[in-house]
Structure 1
Amino acid sequence: GVVASDAMATIQLTDQYVEIHDGEMVQLTNTDFAIETVSGSVINRAPYKATVDAADLEKGMYPYYMLKEIDEQPAVLRRIVQQYQNSAGELEIPNELKQAVQAVDRIHIVACGTSYHAGWLGKHFLEKMAGIPTEVHIASEFSYNPPLITGNPLFVFISQSGETADSRQVLVKIKEWGYPTLTITNVQGSTLSREADHTLLLHAGPEIAVASTKAYTAQISVLAILAATLSEENDFALIHELGIVANAMDSIIAEKEQIAELAEAYLTDKRSAFYIGRGLDYYVSMEAALKLKEISYVQTEGFAAGELKHGTIALIEEGTPVIALITQAENASHTRGNIEEVRSRGAHTCVCVMEGLQQESDQLVLPAVHPMLTPLLAVVPTQLLAYYATLQRGFDVDKPRNLAKSVTVE
């Protein structure tokens, strides 16, 4: 018998799991187990089966899981579209969930880390496509400093593992308050999925590397699908546009060597770095910075480009890497102005730009995709930059120090 806080931790030993609820005790031997309440009542609970393809747990020819998972992103995107299509070829979410969301006047997204960054894109989609005011909260902050909640809200919990302790603490509180809940997760049968009213699955397959890549792009995709299915006038064909993104991802992944060269040129022997962008590019900058710092240990910040001059530009010195993301036509010229501001103070600038907005001196040009979906594409080179910067430093890409894949303690 084995006790684990996350089924994925022991999936190579068994696919049969019995859940343990709060306030229960377990007696475990090497051949049997018994569950009782604190008062001594015996509980008989049937196991559930964790369905994971064993082939997904192998690295195959890849040196690290992270690289495998980056490469899987186009296929994951296509799988998500397939899973959320109905027989008429239209995107669809369960009708019970759709009705529940249509009854609310505000959405609160609760998440941690990478999932929190995906939540900011969820806010953008839900407000712009579905017209629902949306707030984004760090789970550990919400627990002890909840905001003023009014009206008829829905709470959306985003978690790769579905076992995130900080988010679950909020979920328990929200259930006590009687508000409807939705979990967006990669793991069917996980705690956050079982305990919420509704679940949308990511269908990303097991993610083994500690640094999340394909789960992040899967979260963005599912959030976009959720928003689009709630939109009364869906002004673009999301299935078609997501297909274009998947193809564009393929083309970036095929040019890995170019990104490896950029990592060497910009990040070798650097102690700190910045990502900057505006709007959607700012949200991606936050995630890009997290990827780089959590595995390569380069102190990295993701900044709203216009905010640098309000204090942080003081940190720019000769050779400081500043990587700028430009995918939105409406703010491209403003971000270019910020690039000049840091360059004039000695920054070593690298520009990652959407096709159609590029200038001759830009380092990386991304294939053109729908402006609303650029985060799915823009994040991929930043994942690869983090990967190669870590390789060049000789660190373990999949197992960065001090971190765990599932954060199951508060």
Structure 2
Amino acid sequence: MCGIVGYIGKRDIAPLLLEGLQRLEYRGYDSAGIALQPRPGTAGGLRTAKAKGRVRDLRDRLPKRFTGTAGIAHTRWATHGAPSDANAHPHLDASGKVAVVHNGIIDNAADLRAKLAADGVELVSDTDTEVLAHLVGRAQAETLEEKVRHALGGIEGTYGVAVLHADFPDRIVVARNGSPVVLGLGEKEMFVASDVAALVTHTRQVITLGDGEMATLKADEYRTYTTEGSRTSAAPTVVEWEAESYDRGGHETYMHKEIHEQPDAVDRVLRGRLDERFSTVHLGGLNLDAREARGVRRVKILGCGSAYHTGLIGAHLIEELARVPADAEPASEFRYRNPVVDPDTLYLAVSQSGETYDTLAAVQELKRKGARVLGVVNVVGSAIARETDGGMYVHAGPEVSVVSTKCFTNTAVAFALLALHLGRIRDLSVADGRRILAGLRRLPGQIAEVLRDEERIAALAGRYAHARSMMFVGRVRGFPVAREASLKLKEVSYVHAEAYPASELKHGPLALIDPDVPTVAVVPDDDLLEKNRATLEEIKARGGRILAVAHQEQPRADDTIVVPRNEPELDPVLMGIPLQLLAYHTALALGRDIDKPRNLAKSVTVE
């Protein structure tokens, strides 16, 4: 969601911070700002510039000779207070000596604001973050570290923060609790960010802070410690992704680039994992031996948004191939219903970023109750990867567009690998294992084949783009595909859409069908083909238009997108690809800002 960038060193800071903010634009934001520690001998305190709107608006507002020795910057996604210059970060204390940028939500902000106001403090914004700047400024402590620690002691909620203080010009102090903070290590310079995307052009040596951890950055050194003051010894890691991975690579949008990266991305998630000898796969990171795997009596998958939809696909795969009862549930709801945590249930937490707060909180609740939890994530070293007992990386590479495409597909393929692994440990035959392996190997080429039909899909999108609403339907394996396609269309084009199991259409949603509400139907050639065709008949009888995604032309559909056949269990992976293109080209036809859809953020790190 919000983005943090900070730097201390000898470079020209403002351009560097602006570049970092631009690399975080994909996360979603409504305003931006910078605070600089002025060079020695410069009159006045901290220097700030803030602007509602885009990073380019902030750049236009920067004063001349806007330089310093250290700086922090921020892109804000509104939670407390509407987008405005006043609500943009960084926030200052009453003296103007303290500047704070903050990701997360301070739950007790209202009480803290009331106490500060009662003490005569004039609050100039509507944000929760401003209280933190005042608390740091009012803290009676000798060092900046102690001031920040004292202020955080009065905070309830989540935070990733970076703090400057005019009286301590040689340092930036940062802290994390529930919102990512990454340190970047350079030669006589140090960086901090909420996402490695802001760092990779300058350094690949990074340290990811854990919850309850703080750090002090100076130009030539750093140290990490807990919020209680105990030293920690976080080891640097090397970022695998190149800076070029965060560029558009000749495509007009990141979403278009990432859709077209899927053949290579799927090849990566398969690479080195297919075991031809035993018709299974190698998943060493699960930390789950064969005896433990056979002891699993149920699988519960938790995720949010697209991650939840891949969980639905994963649950079907696990039930079909491993014959273990499995279901998926929104992680955002799970921990609020006092769930029964069964020691024989294997829990899977799914998140592209590995930092999704609702999913991370569900993991922490499960761990508190003694459950075994595995992570299915894309980002190495992320919070969920660290908190879980093991898991799988999906190796999709950096996904910059707010709308998930390649990570959704790679996660679905990762679930196929897991289902095959569990199935072969249990009762799945060698022949079926060999059949699924063959299907997995065909996927990259078949995805490329679907992408070659983009021009026709774009023409279809133009034909349906001005519908007042759209219905998406599918049965069993096809229903999660319909749900994800409906979400994609809403996210990126703002066209209202609903998804239903095709069998449920006659139980109420048929009332919505008319010529202005077309239906997208997922119709694979499986044992439910005739039942799906009966649904198409019901829609046509009520004057509805139909766009089918199928393995062959559908006589009752107005239009059909034909996709290649794979094994029935893997067909959902392929049938989702043209629907990503449909959403993309619908948004393009409607003139939407595809990589920055309104009101949304990439990594949702608040509750």
TM-score above 0.5, yes or no: yes
Distance of 1:81 and 1:42 partners within structure 2: 40
Amino acid at match of 1:92: H
Name which of 550, 565, 587 aligns with 1:390. 587
Matched, 1:260 2:458: yes
Matched, 1:96 2:287: yes
Partner SS, residue 162 of structure 1: coil
Matched, 1:165 2:357: yes
Partner SS, residue 584 of structure 2: helix
Matched, 1:75 2:274: no
Which structure exhibits the higher relative contact order, with contacts defined as CA atoms closer than 8 Å and separated by 6 or more residues?
A: 1
Range that drifts further, 281-290 or 64-73 = 64-73
Distance of 1:143 and 1:37 partners within structure 2: 27
Name which of 43, 46, 52 aligns with 2:232. 43
Range that drifts further, 66-75 or 50-59 = 50-59
Partner SS, residue 506 of structure 2: helix
Matched, 1:310 2:470: no
Q: CA deviation at 1:3?
A: 4.2
Alignment-derived partner of residue 243 in structure 2: 54
Alignment-derived partner of residue 402 in structure 1: 599
Q: CA deviation at 1:144?
A: 1.0
Alignment-derived partner of residue 383 in structure 2: 191
Q: CA deviation at 1:10?
A: 4.0
Range that drifts further, 30-39 or 301-310 = 30-39
Amino acid at match of 1:287: E
Range that drifts further, 361-370 or 56-65 = 361-370
Partner SS, residue 363 of structure 1: strand
Assess if the C-alpha contact under 8 Å between 1:286 and 1:302 holds in 2: yes
Matched, 1:380 2:577: yes
Alignment-derived partner of residue 300 in structure 1: 497
Range that drifts further, 60-69 or 312-321 = 312-321
Superposition RMSD in Å = 2.1
In 2 relative to 1, CA 102–3 (structure 1 residues): closer, same or farther, beyond 3 Å? Answer: farther
Partner SS, residue 229 of structure 2: coil
Distance of 2:415 and 2:276 partners within structure 1: 21
In 2 relative to 1, CA 4–170 (structure 1 residues): closer, same or farther, beyond 3 Å? Answer: farther
Q: CA deviation at 1:349?
A: 1.2
Q: CA deviation at 1:64?
A: 1.1
Assess if the C-alpha contact under 8 Å between 2:280 and 2:433 holds in 1: no
Distance of 1:25 and 1:150 partners within structure 2: 35
In 2 relative to 1, CA 272–11 (structure 1 residues): closer, same or farther, beyond 3 Å? Answer: farther
- Between Structure 1 and Structure 2, the one with more helix by share is 1
Name which of 398, 415, 420 aligns with 1:223. 415
Alignment-derived partner of residue 441 in structure 2: 243
Range that drifts further, 11-20 or 334-343 = 11-20
Alignment-derived partner of residue 132 in structure 1: 324
Distance of 1:218 and 1:397 partners within structure 2: 21
* Structure 2: gaps (5+ residues): 1-6, 8-190
Q: Share of identical aligned residues, percent?
A: 37
Q: CA deviation at 1:18?
A: 2.0
Matched, 1:347 2:544: yes
In 2 relative to 1, CA 23–61 (structure 1 residues): closer, same or farther, beyond 3 Å? Answer: closer
In 2 relative to 1, CA 79–343 (structure 1 residues): closer, same or farther, beyond 3 Å? Answer: same
Name which of 196, 208, 214 aligns with 1:7. 196
Instruction: Give me the TM-score of the superposition, normalised by structure 1.
Output: 0.93
Q: CA deviation at 1:25?
A: 3.4
Range that drifts further, 307-316 or 174-183 = 307-316
Range that drifts further, 166-175 or 338-347 = 338-347
Alignment-derived partner of residue 170 in structure 2: none
Distance of 2:239 and 2:213 partners within structure 1: 22
Distance of 2:395 and 2:214 partners within structure 1: 33
Amino acid at match of 1:256: E
Partner SS, residue 292 of structure 1: helix
Q: CA deviation at 1:173?
A: 1.0
Range that drifts further, 27-36 or 58-67 = 27-36
Q: CA deviation at 1:280?
A: 0.8
Distance of 2:543 and 2:276 partners within structure 1: 57
In 2 relative to 1, CA 98–130 (structure 1 residues): closer, same or farther, beyond 3 Å? Answer: farther
Q: CA deviation at 1:240?
A: 1.4
Alignment-derived partner of residue 179 in structure 1: 371
Alignment-derived partner of residue 276 in structure 1: 473
Alignment-derived partner of residue 326 in structure 1: 523
CA deviations 1:151-187 (Å, max 9, x no partner) are 4111111111111111100111111111111101111
Structure (1 or 2) with the larger CA radius of gyration: 2
Q: CA deviation at 1:46?
A: 2.3
Partner SS, residue 129 of structure 1: helix
Q: CA deviation at 1:273?
A: 0.7
Amino acid at match of 1:275: F
Alignment-derived partner of residue 213 in structure 2: 24
In 2 relative to 1, CA 322–360 (structure 1 residues): closer, same or farther, beyond 3 Å? Answer: closer
- Between Structure 1 and Structure 2, the one with more strand by share is 2
Partner SS, residue 404 of structure 1: coil
In 2 relative to 1, CA 86–332 (structure 1 residues): closer, same or farther, beyond 3 Å? Answer: closer
Matched, 1:233 2:404: no
Partner SS, residue 528 of structure 2: helix
Partner SS, residue 287 of structure 2: helix
Instruction: Give me the TM-score of the superposition, normalised by structure 2.
Output: 0.64
Matched, 1:66 2:255: yes
Assess if the C-alpha contact under 8 Å between 1:81 and 1:91 holds in 2: no
* Structure 1: gaps (5+ residues): none
Distance of 2:533 and 2:470 partners within structure 1: 18
CA deviations 1:89-121 (Å, max 9, x no partner) are 852112732434333211111111101000011
Range that drifts further, 336-345 or 167-176 = 336-345
CA deviations 1:308-365 (Å, max 9, x no partner) are 222222222332111111014222222222222222223221111113x744855222
